[in-house]
Amino acid sequence: MKPLPENDPGTPDHRSPARYLLWLLRAQRRSITAGAALGVVWMLSQALMPAAIGRAIGAGVAARDEHALLAWSGVLLGLGVVQAVTGPARHRFAVFNWLAAAYRTVQLVTRQATRLGGTLPKRLSAGEVVSIGLSDVAHIGDVLDIVARGSGAVVGIVVVAGILLSTSAPLGLIVLVGVPLILALAAPLLRPYRDRELAHRELVGELSTHATDLVAGLRILRGIGGEALFSGRYRTESQRVRAAGVAVARAETRMNGAEVLLPGLLIALVTWAGARFAARGTIGVGELVAFYGYAVFLIVPLKTLGEAASKITKGLVAAGRVTALLAIDPELPDAGTARPPSAELVDIASGLVVRPGRVTAIAADDPRDAQAVADRLGRYTAGDVDFGGVPLHAVADVRKRILVAVNEDRLFSGRLDESLAPDGDEATLQAAIHAACAEDIVASVGLDAHVAEAGREFSGGQQQRLRLARALAADPDVLVLVEPTSAVDAHTEARIADRLAQARAGRTTVVCTTSPLMLSHADHVAFLHNGQVVAEGTHHDLLNLEPRYASTVTRSEGEPDGHAERNGQGEVNGQGEVNGQGEGVAGARGDSGEAVRS
């Protein structure tokens, strides 16, 4: 079997949940076909056993024919061997199909989340995305898992009905009429189950979102005394989810009861009719034993059909959530085709001109203005920006060429080296680690260390340096850094400022900051007032020529330990770093393995 996951999950059909499931079936048609074929052989080997037993009794025991008894016993042994061989093989293909569908869905969801960037949190909550990644993929995998046994169940029922018809037309008709009747009686139970399952899943998504928010803001809630209030709200919502889960369980219980009761009635009817025919002499004792064996056998395929109906219902609900995510389009799609060489990057709204191959710093009296410029330069918000004389919206591969790194970025879980540079070579990674002054972190844990979710084992300053190393390792044409040293001490910041200029020599770099240490190492500084560039030059020139600039950077110097944490999140430790989680969410924005903008 092929290794999982696939390198390319493909292009899904997300027009409807059913179309998505059918697309998965087509994408995995080889393993699906193999599993279904094995499932049919496995089920047929069981379906033919009652016939072999009946012949052994009728032609061998009742007729006292030793050769016939041995022959049919050999047939029964052969069927047992076939069943023993095909059963594990069918199960292996079923598990492979489950895993392949789950992995493929996770890949598609991850790729779409990266593509959406800042659009995703505006359209879907974090809890909904988590729910898709954890539970919905499992239900989608269940649909492909049941195909092997479901195919065998259908064929087994048809074969048994054919044998019964050839032996006794009334018994065959009982099965042929009874099976569709059972399915028809069970069908009304599927819709309420599906509706309640959908309502439950939506509530679970909402609760997961609130849990994520609570965990992220737990320290703040404790600080303002709001922990009890929000925990009470979470408890209330948990009870709503529990009640919805109980409603789903009730509907599922009715379905499970029908799966047992209705096939049981059919089996009892077949057994009763077969016994009456044997008493009249219409069929022999061997055929009566075979009919009873068929009645018992039918429990398995009929129950499998009921299980298939349940899993397909859950799969359609799960696929609906996946297709809803896949159908979202980015607010600003990367649809350009122009490929200008590295040149001037001009933000027309503010008047900022970023010249190629230089470190340009943006200092703003209102940090939100600098952030807005960074968003426009990275095309995360609409704006008139030119790149080499070409409108930015017409430039191809903007996310790869222009990378915006912010302090709301997260570290990915997994090996540290893979988190920092999934596609980079070791030399590039080591140079990036050096430029970000993160050697001490790597030395203490090792590049092969496992990073927990969001890098929570690292302090705020350590996270910031590792995120900077990741952005530098991506080595984009244009790198935009927003307050990249806000959580480190002054000594570390001075080293980063010096090494950053060396690491990005000859390439375009934009740094949004009000730190004098960073500004003094920039080749060019632009000062923003009310969102407009009102002064440009070197840091020292602006200190002497622009009082508002001097006031801005002097105010920055007055913060604890040299602006150790400007957004009020976290506490400064003895090294001037921020304990706790500091700023928060995934790597530099772009296609270089970094996380999406939150």
Ramachandran region of residue 68, left (φ > 0), alpha (ψ -120 to 50) or beta? alpha
Residue recorded with tokens 């009429």: 177
Which tops the pLDDT comparison, 343 or 32? 32
277 and 401 fall within a common domain: no
Type of residue found at 260 = V
Residue 563 pLDDT level (bands cut at 50, 70, 90): very low
Answer whether residue 12 is part of any domain.
no
Average pLDDT, integer, range 569-579: 40
Q: Are residues 459 and 502 in the same domain?
A: yes
Percentage of the chain surpassing pLDDT 90? 34
Q: Are residues 130 and 94 in the same domain?
A: yes
pLDDT in tens, 396-420: 888 788 999 988 787 877 888 888 8
Q: Please give the pLDDT value at position 422.
A: 77
Answer with the residue of higher pLDDT: 333 or 289.
289
Residue 396, domain member (yes or no): yes
d(CA 470, CA 428): 10
d(CA 443, CA 380): 36
pLDDT of 23 above 80: yes
* Residues 375 and 307 reside in one and the same domain: no
User: Do 280 and 168 share a structural domain?
Assistant: yes
Residue 151 structural domain:
17-326
Q: For residue 26, with 0-12 CB atoms within 10 Å meaning exposed, 13-18 middle and 19 or more buried, which class applies?
A: exposed
What are 466's two structure tokens? 């590792």
pLDDT of residue 221: 55
| pLDDT the model gives residue 579 | 41
- The upper half-sphere exposure of residue 488, i.e. CA atoms within 13 Å in the direction of its Cβ, equals 25
Q: Collapsing DSSP states into helix, strand and coil, what is residue 478? A: strand
Residue 588 has pLDDT above 70, yes or no: no
State the pLDDT at residue 334: 63
Which are the contacts of 114, defined by CB distance < 8 A and separation ≥ 6?
A: 591, 595, 596
Q: What pLDDT digit, counting tens, does each position of 426-476 carry?
A: 888 899 999 999 999 989 888 888 887 777 788 888 889 999 999 999 989
CA atoms within 13 A on the CB side of 321: 30
- The reported pLDDT for the residue numbered 540 is 93
What confidence tier does 556 reach under pLDDT thresholds 50, 70, 90?
low
pTM of the shown model: 0.56
Partners of residue 338 on adjacent β-strands: 395
Kindly report the CA angle at 523 between 517 and 527, in degrees rounded to 5?
Answer: 75
**DSSP assignment of 480-491, as one string?**
EEESTTTTS-HH
**H/E run at residue 41:** helix 29-47
Residue that finishes a domain, picked among 296, 326, 356? 326
Residue from 584, 120, 597, 124 nearest 379 by CA:
597
- Give the C-alpha distances (Å, rounded to integers) separating 317 from 192, 286, 341: 12, 47, 47
Q: What mean pLDDT is predicted for residues 85-98? A: 93
Taking residue 236's Cβ as centre, other Cβ atoms within 10 Å add up to: 9
Spell out the alpha helix ranges (H) of 48-135: 49-55, 66-116, 120-123, 126-131
The CATH number covering residue 263 comes to: 1.20.1560.10
Looking at residue 570, what is its pLDDT? 38
Please indicate, yes or no, if residue 362 is contained in any of the structural domains: yes
Helix (H) or strand (E) holding 145: helix 137-167
Looking at the structure of the chain, the number of domains it has is 2
Q: Does residue 597 fall inside a structural domain?
A: no
In a domain, 335, yes or no: no
Tally of CB atoms within 10 A around 138:
17
Q: Is 591 a domain residue?
A: no
Query: The tokens of 244 are what?
Result: 């919805």
Nearest Cα neighbor of 347 from 386, 393, 380, 313 is: 386
| 352/106 Cα distance (integer angstroms) | 40
The residue with greater pLDDT, 237 or 197, is 237
Angle formed by the axes of helices 29-47 and 299-326, to 10°? 170
Q: Are strands 478-482 and 508-512 parallel, antiparallel or unpaired?
A: parallel
Nearest CA among 421, 507, 506 for reference residue 468: 421
- Residues 96 and 4: their CA atoms lie apart, in Å, by 9
Give a yes or no: residue 527 inside a domain: yes
State whether 126 and 202 are in the same domain: yes
| Tokens at 287, concatenated | 């055929």
**pLDDT band with cut points at 50, 70 and 90 for residue 343:** confident
Residue 575 pLDDT = 40
pLDDT tens-digit profile of 128-186?
A: 777 777 778 888 999 999 999 999 999 988 888 888 788 777 777 777 777 777 767 77
Q: Token pair for residue 581? A: 């989680």
Same domain, 168 and 241: yes
Let me know whether 322 and 349 are in one domain. no
| pLDDT recorded at residue 439 | 92
The DSSP string of 206-240 is HHHHHHHHHHHTHHHHHHHT-HHHHHHHHHHHHHH
Which of 374, 346, 382 lies closest to 482, judged by CA? 374
Report helix, strand or coil for 23. Answer: helix
pLDDT at 428: 87
Q: How far apart are CA 82 and CA 80, in angstroms?
A: 5
Same domain, 66 and 104: yes
pLDDT(45) > 60: yes
Cα 363 from chain centre:
38
**Does 512 lie in the same domain as 400?**
yes
Say if residue 75 is in the same domain as residue 118: yes
Confidence (pLDDT) at 419: 83
CB 422 within 8 A of CB 411: no
| The residue count for the chain | 598
Q: 27-36, 167-176, 543-552: lowest mean pLDDT where?
A: 167-176
Predicted local distance difference test score (pLDDT) of residue 172: 72
CATH of the domain at 494: 3.40.50.300
Q: Are 400 and 476 in contact (CB under 8 A)?
A: yes
Kindly tell me if the per-residue pLDDT of 227 is higher than 60. Answer: yes
Which of the four pLDDT bands, split at 50, 70 and 90, describes residue 577? very low
Same domain, 426 and 569: yes
The residues that bridge with 402 in the sheet, in sequence order, are 478
3-class DSSP state of 512: strand
Task: For residue 310, give the nearest of 479, 490, 189, 158 by alpha carbon.
Answer: 189
Distance CA 422, CA 434 (A): 18
Average pLDDT, the chain: 81
* Residue from 361, 387, 338 nearest 480 by CA: 361
Residue 538 domain flag = yes
d(CA 474, CA 142): 38
Cβ atoms 129, 325 nearer than 8 A:
yes
Task: Look at 133 and 89; give whichever has higher pLDDT.
Answer: 89
